[in-house]
Copies of this chain bind each other. A is one copy, B any other.
Amino acid sequence: MNDVARAAGVSLKTVSRVVNGEVTVNPVLAAQVQQAIEALHYRHDIGASTLRRSDRRTETIALLLEDVGNPFSAALHRSVEDEARARGVQVLTGSLDEDPQRERELVRAFTMRRADGMIIAPVTDDQSFLSTEMHDDNPVVFVDRPGHGIPADAVLATNVLGATEATRHLVAHGHRRIAYLGDYIRISTARQRHQGYLAALAEAGLEPEPGLVTHDLHTAALAESAVMALFHRPQPPTALFTSQNLVTIGTVRALRRLQLHRTVALVGFDDFPLADLLEPAVTVVAQDPATMGRTAARALFRRIDGDPSPPQEHWIPTTMIRRGSGELPPSPSLAAGRPTRL
């Protein structure tokens, strides 16, 4: 900046004014400064600027997701980036992998880099550590899952409602034995989807059968073997509700192997690419990760801009997409309670 000032024949402070777009500077001088900046390839140092400024902004936000490589997180990431881009803000990302320790480490790393705010899909049920971990005026917005122990905005899918709708849909097609297959039950979204499943059963006057509920399926492979097991016992289900992406995919694989994919009804929570091209195409309750990301980013920027209103919950609705797998009628043979032979 000193070099630029010398080249433009002005003081260092005037260069600062030009760089920051202040209007109280003679246009002639401003033009000279701009020229010098170009000539010397001067680049403004945001780090030094942040250090000195009173608002301490870095024009950078942090985004902590389950795994930046999975389609849901990636879509959410993209829409956050688009909102940030419109404000000239950059995005630091990190994957949590359901690891509580990683959650704290990343929050610390991003705090040390003075991110202006964070959007977090939390792993655990206690985010109270954020209040001591983060700088006081840096807001947090929770996305996908609610945070606890700290007042903050949250952007959530209507998990209970969506799961109820999915299960109700299967009931409406005549199913009485509907299995639930879900992710780690400690994950709040999995709990809520399980809760929606139970609600729909209760509503229909159906007794929940413990043998038809399987939790903690965190990978497609686990889901696949869970489904295999399910159909090798007496009284198998005639329909399945899978509460997550990877579980749905593992389930489709298993049904193929069992040759039951045209026999057993299936509704999955969360859409996935190519669901419409499978045979039968997979009926899903679709989340809207793009809207979730956009909403979270907007909420965060509102807080960064100083909105002091009480924390808000934003509920992003799910949409049922009927494609075929969810509209299969109960198989008489399975309904009779016969297990599948290999």
Which of chain A's residues 38-53 have a Cβ closer than 8 Å to chain B? 41, 43-48, 50-51
A284 to chain B, nearest CB (A): 13
Number of copies of this chain that the complex holds:
2
Inter-chain contacts of A74 with B (CB < 8 A): 68-71, 73-74, 77
Q: State whether the Cβ of A232 lies closer than 8 Å to any Cβ in chain B.
A: no
Inter-chain contacts of A50 with B (CB < 8 A): 47
Complex: how many Å from CA A112 to CA B90? 11
User: Which one, B79, B90, B110, contacts A94 given CB within 8 A?
Assistant: B90
Inter-chain contacts of A60 with B (CB < 8 A): 92, 113
Quick check: B92 and A110 within 8 Å, CB to CB?
Answer: no
Known: A74-B77, A92-B93, A272-B273. 9 other contacts (CB 8 A): A41-B133, A45-B112, A47-B47, A58-B113, A68-B81, A78-B95, A91-B93, A249-B277, A274-B277
Q: State whether the Cβ of A67 lies closer than 8 Å to any Cβ in chain B.
A: yes
**Nearest-neighbor residue (CB-CB) of A44 within chain B:** B112
Inter-chain contacts of A175 with B (CB < 8 A): none
Q: State whether the Cβ of A205 lies closer than 8 Å to any Cβ in chain B.
A: no
A66 to chain B, nearest CB (A): 11
Q: State whether the Cβ of A3 lies closer than 8 Å to any Cβ in chain B.
A: no
User: Which one, B43, B69, B132, contacts A75 given CB within 8 A?
Assistant: B69
Q: A41-B132, A68-B77, A78-B68 are in contact. Are A110 and B93 (CB under 8 A)?
A: no
Which A residues fall within an 8 A CB radius of B? Answer: 41, 43-48, 50-51, 58, 60, 67-71, 73-75, 77-79, 81, 88, 90-95, 108-114, 132-133, 135, 249, 252-253, 256, 272-274, 277-279
User: Which one, B45, B110, B279, contacts A90 given CB within 8 A?
Assistant: B110
Q: A44-B112, A74-B69 are in contact. Are A81 and B94 (CB under 8 A)?
A: yes
Q: A74-B74, A114-B47 are in contact. Are A109 and B135 (CB under 8 A)?
A: no
A77 to chain B, nearest CB (A): 5
Complex: how many Å from CA A93 to CA B85? 11
Quick check: B78 and A108 within 8 Å, CB to CB?
Answer: no
